[in-house]
Amino acid sequence: MDGRNYIGGRWRPALSGQTFESRNPAHRDQVVGTFARSQAADVTAAVDAAAAALPSWRLVPPPERGEILLRAGALLEEAKEDLARLMTREMGKVLSESRRDVQEGIDMAKYIAGEGRRMFGQTVPSELRDKFCMTVRQPLGVVGLITPWNFPLAIPSWKSLPALICGNTVVFKPAEDTPAVATRLVEIFEQAGLPPGVLNLVTGYGEEAGEPLLRDPRVAAVSFTGSTEVGRAVAIRAAEGLKRVSLEMGGKNAIVVMDDADLDLALDGAVWGGFGTSGQRCTASSRLIVHRAVLDEVTERLVDRARALRVGDGLDPQVQVGPVVNHAQLDRIHGYTEIGRAEGARLLCGGQVLRDGDLAEGYFYAPTVFGGVRPEMRVAQEEIFGPTVCIIPVEDFDQAIAVANGTRYGLSLSIYTADVNRAFRAVRDLEAGIVYVNAPTIGAEIQLPFGGIKATGNGHREAGTAAIEQFSEIKSVYVDYSGRLQRAQIDNRPVS
Ligand code: NAD
């Protein structure tokens, strides 16, 4: 694929002519495509185009915008298999999970297209006679979208579709590891009939192609998903321009397994939550907090299941765990194995880079389980973003909740229990934006708000009805049809 930027309805190379490659993490010699390595001047051109398109796009009736987005959803549906295969080649996750990633985009397109006929405001009584009060939703203006590689279609869809339905124009900077999927998504929007300049794509590296978006005064809002470290820097930079910033960042999610849990169910959840997408999900179940009474059984069974997982190229239907995304990520994951060992956690399986046969061609890491982990260890506190699960023993429910809550993150937490009272106490007390009962920490559906608290987020949510809130301003409107000056708080108050 010869990828270019998409600016003002035209596909163009970077102004500098520079490019970068996207490679298959299962076969590092395979080049998926070459893409524009954008710099500040390219971003400025994209913002120019978005700013020029704004006056007419904001006046397109939202149901009409919705028709275009619905068409984009239908095109995504047609291209689902091709997109999924491209995604697996570009970032490694197994094909069934890539299909699911594309499906989230399709679901979001259908859901958001309908918002074009809702986008509710409020009507509110006035304290004065012959006066009408309501709220209406307005676009923010030009918005910048900065996204990670682990959900290369779902996350850009979660952001771009609501941004567009609300009447914003967009500059989209995808992760440098997944420009091919991003390019295909933008092609689909183009094919669906989005007018030139309404959605613009600039590919490249964060500091070169992402940061200029934060500096441009014409960008009203930035929606970022990525690591907490970069998210904080984005927020600080954007604050200088008083931009609205929504941040979806890292997680250190946990499954609690109580002594009364259905262990078959809990084990299925722990394997899927811990090793799905090679653990490279913001919602990955990287901690397993287990009641002492079932600790031995859960540990033994999890290790057996982890050892049996088939690791390899995600395009192979027999494979359950694909590669990790790049060399830096492989080093980081192995670095945490060494940290865990040094901290005194027991390495029960995995803990190594896989290099047998074809695996030597890519970035493969063995599914890894640490036992005897203490809550304060770094492996139990920091986001590893790999196929590593830490088992933390606890004595009772209260300790389980305290340990689950005891990290700086607050994205997704889960409990397995058969006791409805415990389940509801957990729902009340777990400190996270998302809580699951008898299900792992992954499995979000697009019609519910998605996001986290503490160091995971900054008070915004994506998806569900929250998506519209994220990408619109509320305008309060007063219409006085009395034909005279009416003074609120004065004319309807008797003089004392
Ligand atoms: P990252 O923070 O390295 O990069 C995210 C994006 O920010 C990329 O597009 C990158 O190019 C860009 N970027 C980097 N530096 C920048 C800068 N100085 N200015 C502007 N943009 C910059 O994250 P990643 O490695 O792509 O993704 C993994 C992280 O994302 C994990 O921490 C994971 O938990 C998180 N994540 C969170 C959610 C969520 O919804 N909470 C979802 C998926 C991933």
Angle between the N-to-C axes of helices 179-192 and 154-165, in degrees from 0 to 180, rounded to the nearest 10:
30
CB 151 within 8 A of CB 93: no
Tokens of 254: 């946990």
CA distances from 82 to 148, 154, 439 (A): 21, 15, 30
- 177-212 per-position pLDDT tens digit: 999 999 999 999 999 999 999 999 999 999 999 999
Contact 316, 364 (CB under 8 A): no
301-333 burial: b if 16+ Cβ within 10 Å, else e: bbbebbeebebbbbbeeebbbbbbbbeebbeeb
Chain centre distance of CA 254: 18
The DSSP annotation for 355-418 comes to: -SGGGGGS-EE--EEEES--TTSHHHHS---SSEEEEEEESSHHHHHHHHH-SSEESEEEEE-S
Q: What is the mean pLDDT of the chain?
A: 97
Q: What atom of ligand 1 comes closest to residue 148's alpha carbon? A: 26
Q: Is 90 a catalytic residue?
A: no
Atom of ligand 1 nearest to the CA of 456: 41
Beta bridge partners of residue 170, listed in sequence order: 143, 199
pLDDT band at 110 (very low <50, low <70, confident <90, very high): very high
Predicted confidence (pLDDT) per residue in 320-332, tens digit: 999 999 999 999 9
Residue 496 pLDDT: 66
Q: Which two tokens stand for residue 440?
A: 């792992």
Residue 492: the pLDDT is 83
pLDDT in tens, 33-48: 999 999 999 999 999 9
Ligand 1 centroid, distance to 158 Cα (angstroms): 15
Give yes or no: 248 in active site: yes
The secondary structure of residue 297, as a DSSP letter, is H
- Does the beta carbon of 382 sit less than 6 angstroms from any atom of ligand 1? no
Work out the average pLDDT over 56-61: 98
User: Model pTM?
Assistant: 0.97
- Residue-wise pLDDT for 61-108, tens only, equals 999 999 999 999 999 999 999 999 999 999 999 999 999 999 999 999
Instruction: Determine the atom of ligand 1 nearest the C-alpha atom of 173.
Output: 9
In whole angstroms, give the CA distance from residue 191 to residue 280.
Answer: 31
Beta bridge partners, 27, equal: 24
Per-residue pLDDT band for 287 (boundaries 50, 70, 90) equals very high
Q: Which residue's structure tokens are 């509801």?
A: 424
For ligand 1, is residue 236 a contact (CB within 6 Å)? no
- Given a cut of 90, whether residue 494 has pLDDT beyond it is no
Q: How many residues can be counted in the chain?
A: 496
Whole-number percent of the chain with pLDDT over 70: 100
